[in-house]
Structure 1
Amino acid sequence: MDLTSPNAPDTSGTLDEALERLHTFGPERDGWLSNHAPMAVEALVRHGQAPGVHRWLDHYRARLEDMPDRFTEVTPENWQEALGDPRRIADWAAYFARETAGRPWREVLAEWWPRLLPGIAAGATHPVIRVGHSVRTLLSADENAPRVTELAHALGYWAARHQPLPPLSAAAPAADAAAALDAVAPVPDQSGGIQGRLGQLTAFPRWPGRPVAGPEAARARLTELVRAATHRYATYGYGAPIMLVHAATAPNAVLRTLPALPRALWAPSLEAAWAASAAVTAAYSPARPADPGAVPGGLSAEEVFARAAAHGDDHTIKFTDTALDVGGATALAAALRSVELNPPAF
């Protein structure tokens, strides 16, 4: 894939073309595995990799399934009974398509964000990550039909897979986000899938240790959490190289969404993002850190992302995208670690 100017506006139309290709497909395959293509192509285009996006999609096509059949229409009167019903994935996508066609997308997002936030663990956090990629595009580029439709599909996926965590108690407070992640106790049985692992959760460290003092403090703590989770991957990612990227990418999706939300929702967004990151950490983190190994020196952020793009793995692309948001040598080292640990796509 060719490398062009990172973060430049996509004047080629590649992202819109890719999203239109993808909106005929469902958000999952094999009953529960997530379709990562909308998130990956957004990151590829944002970081200058637009020329290779359609080729990447051609390879990824084998992992896509058609949008499932409609089940029962979701309406303003019955949405609560439809929440968390995966049979209604297509119904939820249609519902949000109608909602975003009838009023501004920010208004729809602000109404539904607090309804969906308690189920942030839905689909192993992929729906909220997809929302974060979609909102980032809408905030930084034209609000055209493919991009608004992408938000509708992302919100619909989240609603259909909505999954609250079990009731949790608060363990001892932690001084900062890195210490809080280190204090998360692994679930006793890490042999099964994510549903069984999340069902074993009982308590998380209390972080932040005291209530945040307003929206800006919430954003600062959320930024701290994304940084800590990204850095931690360099030494703990070996335990579950694919799943542990979500400890960073899920809270980063929330961070990306904050500017589109009323400021009153920023503090509860921080609370949910911490729960998501801690849940993934508890479910998949190994007991001990590993030596991250030698890291090639002198690579720029653009060169690191180019390596992730050439590697082609969707999780690696998305994690490297988050690492570039964090910035700095440690985050770039973590991104290179993901390139090393995850199998290449092509």
Structure 2
Amino acid sequence: MTDRPETGTTGTTDRAGATGAPDATGTLDEALERLHASGPERGGWLSNHAPMAVEALVRHGRASAVHRWLDQYEDRLEELPPPHAPVTADTWREALGDPARITDWTLFFARELEERPWRGVLAEWWPRLLPGIAAGATHPVIRTGHAVRTLLASPEGGGVSGPRRTELAHALGYWAARHQPLPPLTALPAAPTAAAALDSVPPVPDQDGGIRHRLAQLTALPAWGAAPDPDTAKELLGELVTAATHRYATHGYGEPVMLVHAATAPNAVLRALPALPRELWAPSLAAAWAASAAVTAAYTPVEAAPYEKVPLTPEEVFARAAEHGDDHTIKFTDTALDVGGPLALAAALRSVELNPPAS
């Protein structure tokens, strides 16, 4: 990329009214540049969470901890795999969903984002990628949501830094390479609210094995989230993120790592909406519901567990997550702070309790 990195951003305001800290230090761009020699996975499947976690740390005023956190995470990083053959406007369909083409896809999106405004690239590819939202255990869409948030937070009229555009290329490339739609699903009776819909999701029969094995067993999900207009779609998407975040407080113990994605995946979609054409908002809601419900079906326990509400401020809760250091915990707490309120903060603290801390 030829752009000179910007050293500062404007703050952004989330749904709870909290303002993300502007990155006057340039730390986020430095961290992203450091990470872009690494691939999106390790061990052939496990996701690289570092770009998402460092974005959340910087947003919540923990820029000074970022490079130290990356030093601890470094042994989980692998180099980008070698490219095979270029993805082009004529050949992309044959490369879609081929994880061996991760680097080919990343290079393709890097070229696209060098030549065109990032919003136009996102608008073109979002509906193509959306059917594969659950691919990679939803990590590609989550990484995309974090990348879009950094781009939306770039200063007006100041241009977008090269590392932030490159991060979007990595996120979209990962999504395209891991793209895998869910199996055909039957619609079960509709639920009146997002919380009720998540409560009525039937668990998959075989609760052993990895997420691909579990998602392959899906046959039906409750109908929820019909949106007659874009504004309703956005409102319902916020309701879904809230419901999934709250549900973690009582059900996260079933699989503490995987169940964070029932909330962070739809929140990634919600974060992307302002950058997307309004006609894409309703299909985005439908895909986000499918992803959240699918993760719920794959991992949620049958019974709720008690939890405690702790009288801490959002800043104190995020500080605990940052000190805990686990990447999933940091990202889930970031989403919980978007939701706001005592129950969301209690859910974030449950993730601190349930997930193993970073070594």
TM range (shorter): over 0.9
2:197 is matched with: 180
1:266-320 deviations in Å (ceiling 9; x for gaps): 000000000000000000001111112x3422x1000100000000000000000
| 1:236 counterpart letter in structure 2 | H
Which of 190, 200, 224 is residue 217 of structure 2 equivalent to? 200
Alignment of 1:152 onto 2:163: no
Q: Write out aligned runs for 1:13-162 (5 A).
A: 13-142=26-155, 143-162=160-179
What count of residue pairs does the alignment treat as equivalent?
Answer: 338
Amino acid at match of 2:185: L
The residue type equivalent to 2:167 in the other structure is E
**Which AA in structure 1 matches 2:310?**
P
Report Cα offsets for 1:151-202 as digits up to 9, x if no partner. Answer: 0000000000001000001001001000000000000001110011000000
Matches of 2:213 and 2:222, distance apart in 1:
21
Gaps (5+ residues) in structure 2? 1-17
Report the more deviating stretch, 45-54 or 5-14.
5-14
| Residue of structure 2 equivalent to 1:226 | 241
Give the equivalent residue in structure 1 for 2:9: none
| One-letter identity of the residue aligned with 1:303 | E
Q: Which amino acid aligns with 2:224?
A: W
User: What does 1:161-172 correspond to in 2, within 5 Å?
Assistant: 161-172=178-189
CA contact (8 A) 2:309 2:342 kept: no
Instruction: Give how far 1:6 is off.
Output: 6.3
Q: Deviations over 1:216-254 (max 9, x none)?
A: 000000000000000000000000000000000000000
Partner of 1:215: 230
Does the Cα contact within 8 Å between 2:309 and 2:343 map onto a contact in 1? no
The 8 Å contact of residues 141 and 265 in structure 2, kept in 1 or not, is answered as yes
Residue by residue, what CA displacement relative to the aligned partner does 1:17-51 show, whole Å, maximum 9, x if unpaired?
00000000000000000000000000000000000
**Partners of 1:213 and 1:159 in 2: CA distance:** 29
Output the CA distance in 2 between the equivalents of 1:212 and 1:124: 26
CA distance in 2, matches of 1:195, 1:127: 15
Q: Secondary structure at the match of 2:301?
A: coil
The amino acid that maps onto 2:323 is: A
Q: Which residue of 2 aligns with 1:307?
A: 320
**Is the CA contact 1:9–1:141 (under 8 Å) kept in the aligned structure 2?**
no
**Matched position secondary structure for 1:170:** strand
Instruction: Give the partner amino acid of 1:62.
Output: D
TM normalised by structure 1 equals 0.97
> CA-to-partner distance for each residue in 1:31-77, whole Å, 9 max, x for gaps?
00000000000000000000000000000000000000001111111
- 1:296 is aligned to 310
Question: Which runs of no fewer than 5 residues in structure 1 stay unpaired?
Answer: none
Q: Counterpart of 1:182 in structure 2: which amino acid? A: D
Tell me how large the CA RMSD over aligned residues is: 0.9
Letter of the 1:244 counterpart:
L
Q: Report the TM-score when normalising by structure 2.
A: 0.93
Contact 1:135 1:257 in 2 (8 A): yes
